[in-house]
Amino acid sequence: MKKYGNMIPCFRCAETKPRGEFHGSRLLELCPICKKCSNAASRKWRKENPERVRRLNKKHQRARRCAGASYKQFPVHIRCRKCGETKERQSFHLSMLARSDYACKSCHAVATTENKRIRRGLPPKKEESRPQLPDWSKY
């Protein structure tokens, strides 16, 4: 793109515009489509794919909520909502604490395994056949 100098043609609308009218790109120096065309294409895609947009927004919202989280901002001892035991805060996933889902790591692992079995169409495991998970609060 450097060979064009300060004015660059847009590959979508074919107008020649100044460099400031183009988004930056990691692979190229500048994106080959101007900001106006890029924004219009983005709006069109969002209008045509509302379900995917909703899913992406939820995902990014969760990430933003957990981004500023730190173990220090939570109490030292927290009660697990599944097993009822009071454990240290390191026994919980930080992302789960940030969204107020107080299930300890061991309970979360068991629930995740059961959910995977259900999604695959397998019956849930019986209680007696489930291996006993270690108590991580001792360590």
Q: What is the pLDDT of residues 2-21, one digit of tens each?
A: 456 788 899 999 999 998 89
The overall average pLDDT reported for the chain is 79
Model confidence at 122: pLDDT above 70 = yes
The number of C-alpha atoms within 13 Å of 43 and in the hemisphere containing its C-beta is 6
- Indicate whether 135 pLDDT > 80: no
pLDDT band for 1, please (50, 70, 90 cuts). Answer: very low
Residue 104, classed as helix, strand or coil, is strand
> Which residues have CB under 8 Å from 39's CB, separation 6+?
none
Nearest to 31 by CA among 17, 48, 52: 17
**Reported pTM:** 0.43
Q: Which residue has the tokens 């106006």?
A: 36
Confidence of residue 70 (pLDDT cuts 50, 70, 90): low
